[in-house]
Structure 1
């Protein structure tokens, strides 16, 4: 399982419109093969700051399956105009805590 983590900064005053657009865009990411789940968290301390967490079965499900899909073009059209600066995407793997 891969966790995609993205810190997002939305342009001031556009938070409500962003959240509405994100709800609509969610249908596109969840339709992709290898998608597991996603959540969007709003920062309490910083206006316009969000954390997006997406679980994928594999890295390629995100980097190839989603990023090269028609669904990604719709996602991008809905959400990318809100970001300033444009976010950096990072991927994480769970560390086994068993000896």
Structure 2
């Protein structure tokens, strides 16, 4: 499993619209092969700041399966106009400690 983590900064005073559009975009991402789950967390200290966590079966499910799909174009149209600055996407894998 791969964890995609993205810190998002939404433009001022449009957070409610963003959350509404994110609900719609959630249907897009959750329909794709390799998708496991996702969650959007709202920062309590900084208005307009969110943390997006998406779990994928493999890195390629995100970087190729999602990013190169027609569904990504709809996701992008819905959500990308809200961000300033544009977010950096990072991928993580679990460290097995025992």
What TM bracket, shorter-length normalisation? over 0.9
TM-score by length of 2: 0.99
* Alignment length (residue pairs): 98
Task: Name the counterpart of 1:43.
Answer: 43
Task: Name the counterpart of 2:83.
Answer: 83
Task: Name the counterpart of 1:5.
Answer: 5
Counterparts of 1:68 and 1:27 in 2: how far apart (Å)? Answer: 17
Unaligned stretches of 5+ residues in structure 1:
none
SS in structure 1 opposite 2:50? strand
Counterparts of 1:9 and 1:70 in 2: how far apart (Å)? Answer: 25
SS in structure 1 opposite 2:85? coil
TM-score by length of 1: 0.98
Query: By how many angstroms is 1:97 displaced?
Result: 1.1
SS in structure 1 opposite 2:44? coil
Counterparts of 1:28 and 1:65 in 2: how far apart (Å)? Answer: 13
Deviation string, structure 1 residues 4-58 (Cα, Å, up to 9, x no partner): 0000000000100000000000011011100000000000000000000000000
Structure 1 segment 19-98 matched on structure 2, within 5 A: 19-98=19-98
Task: Name the counterpart of 2:16.
Answer: 16
